[in-house]
Amino acid sequence: MTEVPVTETQPGTPRGEHELGTEEIRGQEKLKIEDLKPPFFPMIDPYEPINSVLRTERYIFDDHLYATIDSLSVPSNYLHSSYLRMPVVDRLIRGDVLVFLPKFEKNVANWELTVSNSMGQTVRRVKRKGNPPNIITWDGRDDEGNVINTGETYDFTFFAYDAVGNQTRIPGRPQRISAMFYEDAGEWVVAVAADGIFESRGTRLVPGAERWLTEIANAVKEKFKSEAVVYVYTDREDLSTERAKVMVTELSARAKFPRDAVKSAPRFVPGLQPKYSKIEVHIR
């Protein structure tokens, strides 16, 4: 509804064929406009990205997306089960090695979490009565409190029992622990499996070693107080010595430390399996 001016011609004014009359505005009259505006529809559907996926009737998540999302947001491994997404092995594990989120619709009388190495030996067992907590974590230590070996593969299995003894078993997917960053006896330790940095039985760097060395150097800079000691474990004395020299050189090239603050401590362990060869940097 709108208002428009209403005019009238003044009376008594002569008008010829080509004369213009004089009009005087007397007031206003309300008129209703019936014409409708033509509809306008946007050409872009904001929901098209998700609809294009849902229309194909498949899951939006795939293996690559799982790994990408978790590697950016989760700094620890997940025990794989029907309740969880894919486990993720972070390059440098900080804090807990395992985070498990149990979920059961019925009450649990007791439960047990076991961690086994590649030889099938149980290195950690946690048993409790009643329903499990919402989050169960494992700090990467065995039953004696020792930190696990980098380079080793571990299996995680969760057992739950109801009141009459029926068992629910949730198996984990084997996980190789390549590196850890943890506090022990008042100092910080970066432990990395040697095969991520050096060629087998040699001192040449492997492809991808640059990223490992940068991460180690960043960890040292983060916790450094007075010194950093590089321990290198192999089954040969000469190999341990040469690898230790390389590590000191590489770390010194990536960070500024006081003179002689980065030291080497080669460790020769006869019969040490190649997979247990490792580099430890103790930060003090």
Highest mean pLDDT among 51-65, 66-80, 250-264: 250-264
pLDDT of residue 67: 45
Q: What is the mean pLDDT of the chain?
A: 79
Calpha distance 77→85 (Å, rounded)? 11
Q: Which of 24-38, 44-58, 128-142 has the lowest mean pLDDT?
A: 44-58
What residue spans define the domains of the chain? 75-176, 179-283
Integer angstrom CA distances of residue 86 from 4, 160, 170, 184, 273: 71, 21, 14, 30, 30
Give the mean pLDDT of 157-178: 89
Cα separation, 124 vs 136, whole angstroms: 13
Q: What is the pLDDT of residue 85?
A: 40
Distance CA(234)–CA(279), nearest Å, equals 9
Q: What is the pLDDT of residue 106?
A: 75
**Contact (CB, 8 A) for 178 and 151:** yes
**In contact, 179 and 281? CB cutoff 8 Å:** no
pLDDT at 104: 76
Nearest Cα neighbor of 103 from 127, 125, 136 is: 136
Q: Report residue 44's pLDDT band, with 50, 70 and 90 as the boundaries.
A: low
Q: Residue 112: its pLDDT value, please?
A: 94
Residues 15-19: what's their mean pLDDT? Answer: 51
**Second CATH level (architecture) for the domain 75-176:** Sandwich (2.60)
Question: What average pLDDT does the segment 33-49 reach?
Answer: 58
Q: What is the CATH number of domain 179-283?
A: 3.30.1330.60
d(CA 119, CA 106): 34
| Lookup: tokens for 250 | 């590489």
Give the H or E element holding residue 216. Answer: helix 209-223
Residue with more model confidence, 237 or 100:
237
pLDDT for 64 equals 47
What does the pLDDT look like over 122-149, one tens digit per residue?
999 999 999 888 888 888 999 999 999 9
Of 173, 176, 172, 171, nearest in space to 153 by CA? 176
The per-residue pLDDT for range 180-232, each reduced to its tens digit, is: 999 998 999 999 999 999 999 999 999 999 999 999 999 999 999 999 999 99
26 or 276, which is more confident: 276
More confident position, 25 or 185: 185
Instruction: State whether residue 282 is helix, strand or coil.
Output: strand
**Residue 195 vs residue 44, higher pLDDT:** 195
pTM above 0.75, yes or no: no
pLDDT band at 98 (very low <50, low <70, confident <90, very high): confident
> How far, in Å, CA of 67 to CA of 70, rounded?
5
- 75-176 and 179-283, same CATH topology: no
154: closest CA among 138, 169, 136, 176?
176
216-251 burial by CB neighbour count: b if 16+ within 10 A, else e?
bbebbeebbeeebbbbbbbbbeebbbbbbebbbebb
Q: What order do you get walking across the sheet with 136-138 strand by strand? A: 77-78, 98-100, 136-138
pLDDT of residue 134: 84
Give 187 or 79, the one with higher predicted confidence.
187
